[in-house]
Amino acid sequence: MPVSLSDSILISIKQALLGSEIASDYTAFDAEIIMHINTVFNSLRILGIGKAFSISDNTSKWSDYSSNMSNIQMIKTYMFLRIKLLFDPPSNSFLTSSIEKQIKEMEWYLTVISDNLEDQNG
């Protein structure tokens, strides 16, 4: 699903987790998903990627975090994978292992491009 810098961070992650048909209207898990989003933003910062950032509702946009669209695409995927394991982990250990491997690979890529993210985020 393409992401725009003007998209809500919460809603775009909810669309990836729950499906686009219910993401905007279904708010039962918003507090939990927001907590996980903020955990991932903190993890990114610890990895040296981006700026200190957190959200509190669906008004925070990807453009509030960064103006670099190609990096946002990768960060969105990374965030989805991390939250997927926290929020709705697969019951199959092979699938869990595959997701963990993708997360590690994306962390490496994001670390490699972190200088570009820092330039974009000031």
Q: How many domains is the chain built from?
A: 1
DSSP assignment of 84-103, as one string? HHHHS--S-HHHHHHHHHHH
Return the percentage of the chain with pLDDT > 90, whole number.
64
The per-residue pLDDT for 24 is 78
User: Apex CA 71: angle with CA 13 and CA 55, to 5°?
Assistant: 40
Model confidence pLDDT, tens digit, residues 17-52:
988 778 778 899 999 999 999 999 999 999 988 889
The per-residue pLDDT for 77 is 94
* Domain presence at residue 2: no
Is residue 121 predicted with pLDDT exceeding 60?
Answer: no
What is the pLDDT of the chain when averaged over all its residues?
88
Q: Is 56 helix (H, G, I), strand (E, B) or coil?
A: coil
The per-residue pLDDT for 117 is 46
CB neighbourhood size of 8 (10 A) = 20
* Domain presence at residue 3: no
* Domain presence at residue 4: no
Containing structural domain, residue 89: 9-121
Provide the token pair at 65: 């975090």
The per-residue pLDDT for 5 is 61
Instruction: Tell me how far CA of residue 46 lies from CA of 6, 26, 28, 31, in angstroms.
Output: 25, 31, 29, 23
What's the pTM? 0.86
Model confidence pLDDT, tens digit, residues 53-76:
999 999 999 999 988 777 888 999
